[in-house]
Amino acid sequence: MQATNRAALGPRVFICAPFGPTGAPVSAEVRYALRGDGVDGHGERELPVRAVVFSRDRAMQLDAALRSLAAHCAEAVGLVVDVLFTASSTGMARQYEELEQTWNGPLRLRFRREREFRADLLQILDGTVEVTEGPPGDPSHMLFLVDDAVFCRPFSLKHAIRALEDRPRALGFSLRLGVNTSYCYALDAAQRVPVFEPLGHGVVVFDWTTAERDFAYPLEVSSSIYDTGRIARMLSGVDFSDPNTLEARLASAAAGTWARLAPELLCFERSVAFCAAVNRVQTVFGNRAGTDARLSPGELSRLFDRGLRIDTSAFAGFTPGSCQCEAPFSFVRRESGAGGHDPRQPA
């Protein structure tokens, strides 16, 4: 079991201790344009990326993923994020509707309830979903996210995309890997950090074909950026029905042709995101996750209805030791946006 920051918390396991210094505010100047003309007023290219986030019965955690992305991404203003969600009850569905209606952050969210996962995703990748806001046309790159992702330090999508464009043999750009991820949570084992070659702006490259565990798993959907056309071609002739089988098909593709054509993987020197593995909502694979009932999807849903939200500012500056972490949560009231709350006490 990975050592976490729980020891600093004392008996109040739901309240996070500070995880180091809060990240400095991101300058508004470090942004691409997000307009249809392809350039901004200073001649900068439009940022050629959209994001898609997969969510199931976890509106509370989705809210944390989106707010932490908005807080730490330098190009958050106007970034189009397709939210592909599924809900097992009317109550869960209502919470997604509430998020859609009350969102007032810089991201441009487009909620889409899942009908048939494969067809929905391929439509998003093809750029055929009706666009009412944001840049028209197909983005050249896609950021894949899941609803339990949490962003914990400032980063620039511009630097990630430029590095991908400059390295045609790079298969993707992982936001969850870094020199700090020396532990594989999924296998409960240490992992060797590969040799990194620095490329500038905090970006590094390594050979994933000679790496191990998380570093040898280049195609994943929790927090990574890929060439949209390349991913669409990989998926056009294969069957998948949910994010887990999608990732399994991508892993098979990586082990085949792509190990020869694209043996490089990019990441930042220190990871900027991790997955808060406090619960599990899928039953396709027996992925490791926390079992504390107070952090179950049902309990988090009840807290959501009481007006509480995960305090993502508690993770600013946090350096995870692995791509997944059973990180405890503190909560704030949605209206206030500040302060913590112990859910064992009346709200």
pLDDT tens digits, one per residue of 172-188: 999 999 999 999 999 99
Q: Does domain 34-326 have CATH number 3.90.550.10?
A: yes
Residue 22 has pLDDT above 60, yes or no: no
Least confident stretch, 96-100, 126-130, 149-153, 275-279: 126-130
Task: Give the pLDDT confidence score for residue 150 in this predicted structure.
Answer: 98
Task: Give the pLDDT confidence score for residue 13 in this predicted structure.
Answer: 27
pLDDT tens for each residue of 121-171: 999 998 744 444 444 445 799 999 999 999 999 999 999 999 999 999 999
Residue 36 has pLDDT above 80, yes or no: no
Distance between CA atoms of 251 and 200, rounded to whole angstroms?
28
With 0-12 / 13-18 / 19 or more C-beta atoms within 10 angstroms meaning exposed / middle / buried, residue 151 is: buried
pLDDT tens for each residue of 242-251: 999 999 999 9
Task: Give the pLDDT confidence score for residue 285 in this predicted structure.
Answer: 72
Percent of the chain with pLDDT over 70: 80
Residue 340 has pLDDT above 80, yes or no: no
Distance between CA atoms of 190 and 273, rounded to whole angstroms?
19
Reference 59, options 121, 105, 103; nearest CA is 103
Residue 50 has pLDDT above 80, yes or no: yes
Average pLDDT score over residue span 78-106: 96
Would you call 121 helix, strand, or coil by DSSP? helix
Kind of pairing between the strands at 264-268 and 170-174 = parallel
Residue 345 has pLDDT above 50, yes or no: no
Average pLDDT score over residue span 98-126: 95
Q: How confident is residue 1, by pLDDT bands cut at 50, 70 and 90?
A: very low
Number of neighbouring beta carbons within 10 Å of residue 70: 18
Residue 10 has pLDDT above 50, yes or no: no
Average pLDDT score over residue span 187-215: 98
272 CB contacts (<8 Å, ≥6 apart)? Answer: 72, 151, 152, 153, 154, 155, 175, 178
Residue that the structure tokens 């079992």 belong to: 291
Task: Give the pLDDT confidence score for residue 46 in this predicted structure.
Answer: 67
Task: Give the pLDDT confidence score for residue 284 in this predicted structure.
Answer: 74
Task: Give the pLDDT confidence score for residue 286 in this predicted structure.
Answer: 73
